[in-house]
Chain A
Amino acid sequence: MSKGSEIADHKYLIKQLPTATAFVNTDFELVYASDKWLTQHNQSPCDAFGKRIDYLYHTNNQLVNTLSNCINDKVDRTFEECKYDPSGKKWFEWHCNPWLDSKENVIGLIIRTEDVTQLKLSEINLGRLRSKLDIISEIGKIGSWEYDLIADKVIWCGVTRKIHEVDSEFEPSLEEGVAFYKEGYSKNLISMAVHDALTKGKSYSEKLQIITAKGNEIWVQANGTPVYEDNKIVALRGTFQDINDKVKSEHKTKANETLLRTLIDNLPLNIYIKDKESRKILVNKAECDYLGISDANEILGKNNFELYDKDIAEALNQEDQQVMDTLVPILNKESRIRNKNGETTTFLISKIPLKDEFGKANGIVGISHDITRLKQNEAKLKDLVNVASLQNKKLVNFAHIVSHNLRSHTANFSMLLEFLVDEKDEEEKQNIIGMLTNASNNLMETLENLNEVVAINTNVGLEKKPIVLREKIEVVEQNLSAFLQGHNATIINNVPLDAIIKVVPAYIESILMNFITNAVKYSDPKRPPLVKLSCRKTAGATILSIEDNGLGIDLKKYGDKLFGMYKTFHNHKDSRGIGLYITKNQIESMNGRVVVCSEVGTGTTFNIYFNEED
């Protein structure tokens, strides 16, 4: 076999090699190459052979150096080269072996190249993913860990170590890892979870507390999942996240919420929030109590018309709308609100607009203070003050009357005694003593009168009994019959039989007697006296009218003195000026009152109001 045909045989053989293989001589010129190699490196057979491989490869001296070393040192070399090709960057793995002749002389290199572009790209991608993961892990404070069951080894990533506040070389055992968890709930739970994961293959995800190497107590989210190989658990893998800030702020939010809820539920104020359509979206306990429900959900979402009668609901709607339209709050407005049961409550109402981020109202906060009791007490107190001030006025008035009457008598005593001491004339002495006796009698009478008034005013609580008014008038008429006949007087009793009033029986007789005798006493001499009694009912009172045709009283002049003590207005020998004063006291002690109208020359009418309510 000739040498030429031998080479041709080699060439043909090499051409068909299943791997991309090239043969270069010691000058790195391409001698043989498989078709695979030529295709891989985009070379045509006619141009490539005899050319230096580094030229073909458009590459640097580094390649030549590497190849030279390979020839000189007679060693195998494997390295990566990259080249740019129209389709992009490509990586090749070069395996170079020295090419020996039969005498073991190096005559060149056998180069096998492998396209590792795909692998390389994957590697780069993986690297990118890794760094991405690192970033996410760092920012999210999410670490990872793995427990290799076979090797009984725990591996923590950097972030996991950081969360535990241990140094970067720290490698715990499984027990040491668990030991970081806080004694009690956290430690018990993680021990169970890890055990279950290892034995039953259960994944876990728990919010727990650990105590770091530096003694800080923090909240973490610990996750773990078993890893299987041939249906057997070989490892646990999981993440480990620092959620302390989140949990802390959650706790804070929750605490704030609880605080707020406790506050609004325990305030003695009705608090609610209504939406744009006046539907209640939040109510506190006091508001629930007021609306008579135990569960707030019963009224949430309901509008005014569902909670109140139409008239009230319309007024409330208008008020709500006004606050939302004008954005001007209503503060401490006194309102009387009737609920569906017909009970009326007096509230001090405040309505404050709730604004959205654009400054427009999308609801209101309402605060209502139930002041019904306060109002009632206020009214009671007012009544009491009125009664007290009236009593006080009466008392002062009475004190003046007493003082005046006693003083006028004692003044007389004192004066007369002064005379008596100096008087020589026996007759005049007797005269003065007569006057002293008179003064003494007057004083006695005055004291009796005053005593009577005191008795009336101290016996305010005297028991009242229902009496038939008409019958009482008839009795008085009977008792006065001689007096009436003597004055040729006529009584017309128009009081119906069914007029029943609650009075102190003794007082009503005295009152009737007084008014009737007065009417007759001060009759007009021009006509026979006529006294008409009638009765009518109004809300809360029965009014007895006693009308006469007598002289009449000039009320402009005497109106304020008519019922005063020792005030008389007629030149009448029987006028004592005490009767009307006592009568008035008796009427008032029974919670009644008396009103007079009169015309001089025509007659007088007294209207006596008996208060039936008490």
Chain B
Amino acid sequence: MKKIDSIYIIDDDPITVFGMQKMLSLAVDCPQVESFVNGKTAIEEIKKNHESTGKLPEVIFLDLNMPIMDGWQFLDEFLKIPTSEKIRVNIITSSIDLHDKEKWELYQKKTHHVIDYNEKPLYKAEVARITKKA
């Protein structure tokens, strides 16, 4: 089983978070799977950890439509964090808006991190495939 140090799930829908956690537990060996209800709480935690330990989560599952701070706003902040580490961000969305896909392509170009785009629903096999180090 793959081993990942730290995974963050950012989604305001508790059912999705529950499902993700369940599928991850089957797919990878990860001691730290944390969830956040919006981008704001997530970025605050990430920044705090980065400042104190210099570490970032290895894989992030990111919803786009969230209150307070949505997925794009989270990415804006996250990409500003100065790091040479390569993080994998899996966008998970139920949006079929073409603009979101175009936006994703734009973000891909301006970062060294790996940003992946996935439409809901996700199944175990897919989760296993995209849960890996960048």
Point out the residues of chain A lying under 8 angstroms from B70, CB to CB: 561
Point out the residues of chain B lying under 8 angstroms from A418, CB to CB: 123-124
Q: Is B32 an interface residue (CB 8 A)?
A: no
Cα separation A411 to B118 with both chains bound (whole Å): 12
Q: Is A438 an interface residue (CB 8 A)?
A: yes
A415–B123 touching, CB < 8 Å: yes
Q: Given that A412-B121, A418-B124 are contacting pairs, would A404 and B68 also be in contact in the complex, using a CB cutoff of 8 Å?
A: no
Complex partner residue of B94 from A407, A419, A577, CB under 8 angstroms: A407
Give the dominant DSSP class at A's interface: helix
CB-nearest residue of chain A to B120: A411
Interface residues in A408-463 (C-beta closer than 8 Å to B): 408, 410-412, 414-416, 418-419, 435, 438-439
Q: Is B51 an interface residue (CB 8 A)?
A: no
CB-nearest residue of chain B to A565: B65
Q: Is B122 an interface residue (CB 8 A)?
A: yes
Per-position binary interface string of chain B over residues 72-99, scored 1 when its CB falls under 8 Å from any chain A CB and 0 otherwise:
0100000000000000000000111100
Point out the residues of chain A lying under 8 angstroms from B96, CB to CB: 400, 403-404, 407
Point out the residues of chain A lying under 8 angstroms from B119, CB to CB: 407
Interface residues in A534-589 (C-beta closer than 8 Å to B): 557, 561, 566-571, 575, 577
Complex partner residue of A439 from B15, B95, B123, CB under 8 angstroms: B15
Residue picked from B16, B18, B96, B121, most chain A C-beta under 10 Å: B121
Complex partner residue of A412 from B16, B67, B73, B124, CB under 8 angstroms: B16
Per-position binary interface string of chain B over residues 44-82, scored 1 when its CB falls under 8 Å from any chain A CB and 0 otherwise:
000000000000000000000101101001000000000
A411 to chain B, nearest CB (A): 4
Q: Given that A407-B120, A569-B68 are contacting pairs, would A557 and B73 also be in contact in the complex, using a CB cutoff of 8 Å?
A: yes
B95–A435 touching, CB < 8 Å: no
B95–A404 touching, CB < 8 Å: yes
A412–B65 touching, CB < 8 Å: no
Point out the residues of chain A lying under 8 angstroms from B31, CB to CB: none
Q: Given that A400-B96, A403-B96 are contacting pairs, would A412 and B19 also be in contact in the complex, using a CB cutoff of 8 Å?
A: yes
B122–A400 touching, CB < 8 Å: no
B40 to chain A, nearest CB (A): 9
A414–B67 touching, CB < 8 Å: no
Q: Given that A408-B13, A411-B120 are contacting pairs, would A569 and B94 also be in contact in the complex, using a CB cutoff of 8 Å?
A: no
Chain A residues packing against B (C-beta within 8 Å): 400, 403-405, 407-408, 410-412, 414-416, 418-419, 435, 438-439, 557, 561, 566-571, 575, 577
